[in-house]
Amino acid sequence: MFDTIIIGAGPAGLTAAIYAARRQLKTLIIAKQVGGQVIWASTIENFPGFAAIKSFDLVNKMQNQVKNLGIDIKVAQVKKITKNKNYFILLTEKEQFQTKTIIIAMGLEPRYLNLPNEKELIGKGIGFCANCDGPLYKDKLVAVIGGGNAALDAAELMSKIARKVYLIHKLDYFEAFEILVEKVRGIKNIQILLDTEVRETVGANKLESIRILNNKTGETSQLDISGMFIEIGREAQTDLVANLVKRDEKNQIIVDQGNQTSLAGVFAAGDVTQLEFKQIIIGCGQGAIAALSAYKYLQTNKNFN
């Protein structure tokens, strides 16, 4: 019987584990992979204490800290969660675990363009976070894919870093705030390509170019670029807890200021929650709050004392 099981091993999950361990909670982490979305970034320049740090190094430091506290990280996927009186049962492909509390920190999954070679080039020219990787493309040619606020924000940011930015959207209009659209349209080194789709990524060990299709004319062309940011949204994959906790219209888990969900004993932290601003440091903060809230729940619940 564990005091808490953390589902997910990104910054939120790893931080939750650190704080749980410091409260002497018997803790286990179950995750499909260690690092979460951070592993898609190459260099991180907005994490306190480091002017710049490779994503692998940051994840490795967090992981080592967790392991040094005696917490096991089990690489597996939780398939089912059931509640049994005052505790929960978690089933993976091969094992079963019991826990008094759960901290859900599964993060978000980015939407892909579903192109051949796309996933192989992630971190090698293709990314999902201009804030994280943008400075790597100083004075280079880049593309931003998407037509919502996130895409236009990324294009505006990259216009200050890159020599030229191609803003590519499959529709003939943007789905962003008009004030942001006007701002982006006025930036000289952003070339807007509406009614246009990326059909192919070119490059073996790194992104070298993309082939695009104009949906109106049927014309295809090639853009030589060094980087491409896919900003067509992220999705919360929370069907695992659909029957346990309340979610919003985006399937994000709804939590209160203590990162408590609608079900007592279940907490959530990081990008998987409805809370605004999806950043590494914010996920860490939420992970700490979730762990402390789980500790408080156990201390004040008469069933566990």
Residue 27 and residue 80 in one domain: yes
Residue 39 has pLDDT above 80, yes or no: no
For the segment 234-240, the average pLDDT, to the nearest whole number, is 91
Q: How many angstroms separate the CA atoms of 172 and 81, rounded?
A: 44
Kindly give the pairing relationship between strand 2-9 and strand 27-34.
parallel
Report the range of poorest mean pLDDT among 28-42, 94-108, 236-250, 271-285: 28-42
Range of the domain at 69: 2-108+236-304
Residue 122 and residue 226 in one domain: yes
Q: How many angstroms separate the CA atoms of 304 and 265, rounded?
A: 12
Per-residue pLDDT, 98: 97
Name the catalytic one among 133, 153, 271, 284.
Answer: 133
Longest CA–CA span in the chain (Å) reads 71
What's the CATH number where 155 sits? 3.50.50.60
Residue 134 and residue 195 in one domain: yes
Residue 266 has pLDDT above 80, yes or no: yes
Residue 241 and residue 99 in one domain: yes
Average per-residue pLDDT for the chain: 94
For the segment 146-169, the average pLDDT, to the nearest whole number, is 94
Name the catalytic one among 132, 153, 271, 284.
Answer: 132
Residue 74 has pLDDT above 70, yes or no: yes
Residue 44 and residue 191 in one domain: no
Residue 34 and residue 82 in one domain: yes
Residue 274 and residue 126 in one domain: no
Per-residue pLDDT, 40: 64
Query: Does 122 or 16 have the greater pLDDT score?
Result: 16
Per-residue pLDDT, 41: 64
Residue 25 has pLDDT above 70, yes or no: yes
| Confidence class for position 52, pLDDT limits 50, 70, 90 | confident
Number of separate domains in the chain: 2
Sign of CA dihedral 231, 285, 297, 36: positive
| Confidence class for position 73, pLDDT limits 50, 70, 90 | very high
Of 230, 251, 282, which marks where a domain is finished? Answer: 230
Of 200, 230, 260, which marks where a domain is finished? Answer: 230
Of 214, 230, 246, which marks where a domain is finished? Answer: 230
Residue 179 and residue 289 in one domain: no
Residue 122 and residue 89 in one domain: no
Residue 94 and residue 124 in one domain: no
In the residue annotation, 284 being an active-site residue is answered as no
In the residue annotation, 133 being an active-site residue is answered as yes
Name the catalytic one among 3, 129, 271, 284.
Answer: 129
| Confidence class for position 234, pLDDT limits 50, 70, 90 | confident
Residue 116 and residue 222 in one domain: yes
Per-residue pLDDT, 13: 98
- What is the four-CA torsion angle of 186, 165, 216, 175, rounded to 10 degrees? -60
Residue 143 and residue 243 in one domain: no
